[in-house]
Chain A
Amino acid sequence: DSGVTQTPKHLITATGQRVTLRCSPRSGDLSVYWYQQSLDQGLQFLIQYYNGEERAKGNILERFSAQQFPDLHSELNLSSLELGDSALYFCASSGVGGGLLNTGELFFGEGSRLTVL
Chain B
Amino acid sequence: KNQVEQSPQSLIILEGKNCTLQCNYTVSPFSNLRWYKQDTGRGPVSLTIMTFSENTKSNGRYTATLDADTKQSSLHITASQLSDSASYICVVSVRNYGGSQGNLIFGKGTKLSVKP
Contacts and interface: CB of A to CB of B under 8 A. Distances in A.
Interface of A: 2, 4, 31, 33, 41-43, 45, 48, 50, 55-56, 88, 90, 92, 94, 98-99, 102-106, 108-111, 113
A114 to B, nearest CB: 13
Contacts of A111: 41-43
Given A42-B89, A104-B31, A105-B49, A98 B42 contact: no
Nearest to A110: B43
Interface residues of B, number: 25
A3 B101 CA distance: 19
Given A45-B106, A55-B100, A98-B99, A105 B34 contact: yes
Taking each of A50, A56, A109, which has the highest tally of chain B beta carbons within 10 Å of its own beta carbon?
A: A56
Contact of B106 (A43, A48, A98, A104): A43
Nearest to B33: A104
Given A42-B109, A56-B103, A92-B43, 17 more contacts: A2-B45, A41-B108, A42-B108, A43-B89, A43-B106, A45-B104, A48-B101, A50-B100, A98-B98, A98-B100, A104-B31, A105-B34, A106-B91, A108-B44, A108-B45, A110-B43, A113-B41
A88 B87 CA distance: 15
Taking each of B42, B93, B102, B104, which has the highest tally of chain A beta carbons within 10 Å of its own beta carbon?
A: B104
Contacts of B98: 98
B46 interface: yes
Contacts, number: 64
A85 B29 CA distance: 33
Q: What 3 pairs across the A-B complex have the smallest Cβ distances?
A: A98-B99, A108-B43, A42-B108
Contacts of A102: 99-101
A42 B49 contact: no
Nearest to A103: B49
Given A42-B109, A105-B49, A94 B99 contact: no
Contacts of B104: 33, 45, 104, 106
Nearest to A50: B100
B26 to A, nearest CB: 17
